[in-house]
Amino acid sequence: MIITNNLTKKYGDQIALDQLTLKVGEGEIYCLLGANGAGKSTTINLLLGFTEPTSGNASINQLDVHKNPKATKQLLAYIPENLMLYPSLTAVENLDYFSGISGKKLSTPILKDFLEEAGLQSEAFDKRISAFSKGMRQKVGIAIALAKDAKVLLLDEPTSGLDPKASNEFGQLLQKLRDKGVATLMATHDLFRAKEIGTHVGIMKDGRLKQEFIVDNITLNELEMFYLDTMTYKEETL
């Protein structure tokens, strides 16, 4: 479960994130929408502990991120926008390494199970990552999350640059994880994918969370309308 409470980040005078309060419960997929610079990535960086909040706090499963950096990292898995793994290592080796340094010692058959669960074709298990497409690398990323038994998943623009088929497969994977009770926070530009797989949607602008919806309650058209409205809102007030 992800909870943020008046989470604020300032760089000098510039406000990157302004009093963000949100909650992502177990089995929920929360999609953060917004233009570049709206504060989506800052939110994720704060949840990862990559940067310190100016005020407010963020917690994962009731653990404060900044007081317990190690413990919270144990609980979460993160897939950056462009997931890069070690090109000269194979899929299994990469998975072994990343789960290994987080303290999970797993045998090769189990590692392969995770890769399979993440949807990677079995021929690719022992191939070097240098030959992998972005979609395949992301499957390894999901496998890392699975192997870690992550309770929380943080995703940064995961579907950008994926072809529709890969994007679809990725959505299905996320739903599988949701069914296991994983709380997912996903920053994205992709309204369509957000509507399809998300349970909740938030629209951000200038570091503020402007609107929140439960996905089941609105249609894709409404979502798009709200999104565009929020983006142009400033011009109207001026």
Partner 1 sequence: MFSYNFKYELKLLLRSRWIQLLSLVLLLIFGFATYNGLQKVEKRKSDILAAKNEVKENDEMMLKLLDSVERGLSVNASPWTIPTSPMAVGTYHPRVAAMEPRPMAFLSTGQADLFTHFVKPTVRSDAFDLNFTEMTSPVQLLFGSFDLAFVVIYLLPLLIIAFSYNVLSAEKESGSLRLLAAQPIRIQSWVLQKLGLRFFWLVLLVVVSLILVFVVLRLDFLSEFSTFLGLVGLILAYTLFWFAIAFLVNLWVGSSAKNAVALLGLWVTFVLLIPSVLNQLGNTIYPMPSRNLMINEMRSLKAEVTERQDEILDNFLRDHPEYALNDSTQARGFYHRYMASQKLIREELAPLVNSFEEQLQKQQNWIARYKWLSPAVLSQESLNKMAGTAKSDYEDYRKQVVAFAEKWREHLIPFLYNNQDFTQADYGDLPSFDYQTKSNNPWMVIIAILLMSIGLFATGFVLSKNRGRNIILNQG
Nearer to partner 1, 79 or 183 (CB): 79
CB of 185 to partner 1, least distance (A): 13
Reading the block at residue 180, the tokens are: 């296991």
- Which region holds residue 39: left if phi is over 0, alpha if psi is between -120 and 50, else beta? left
CB of 74 to partner 1, least distance (A): 4
DSSP secondary structure string for all residues of 158-215: TTTT--HHHHHHHHHHHHHHHHTT-EEEEEES-HHHHHHH-SEEEEEETTEEEEEEEG
Q: Does 85 bind partner 1 (CB under 8 A)?
A: yes
Nearer to partner 1, 153 or 191 (CB): 153
CB of 213 to partner 1, least distance (A): 28
How many other C-beta atoms can be found within 10 angstroms of the C-beta atom of residue 63?
Answer: 14
Query: Using CB under 8 A as the criterion, what x/- string covers residues 23-62 for binding partner 1?
Result: ----------------------x--xxxxx----------
Cα 140 from Cα 176, distance rounded (Å): 15
CB of 29 to partner 1, least distance (A): 19
Q: Does 76 bind partner 1 (CB under 8 A)?
A: yes
Residue written as token pair 């990862």 = 48
Spatial neighbors of 185 by CB under 8 A, at least 6 apart, are 2, 24, 30, 32, 43, 44, 47, 152, 153, 154, 155
What residues between 144 and 183 interact with partner 1 by CB under 8 A?
144, 154
Q: Does 74 bind partner 1 (CB under 8 A)?
A: yes
What are the angstrom distances between the C-alpha of 195 and each of 118, 128, 171, 228? 22, 35, 11, 15
How many other C-beta atoms can be found within 10 angstroms of the C-beta atom of residue 52?
Answer: 10
Nearer to partner 1, 6 or 82 (CB): 82
Q: Does 86 bind partner 1 (CB under 8 A)?
A: yes
Which stretch in 71-79, 106-114, 177-185, 229-237 sits in contact with partner 1 by CB under 8 A? 71-79
Which residues bind to partner 1, rule: CB under 8 A? 45, 48-52, 69-71, 73-74, 76-80, 82-89, 93, 96-98, 100-103, 141, 144, 154
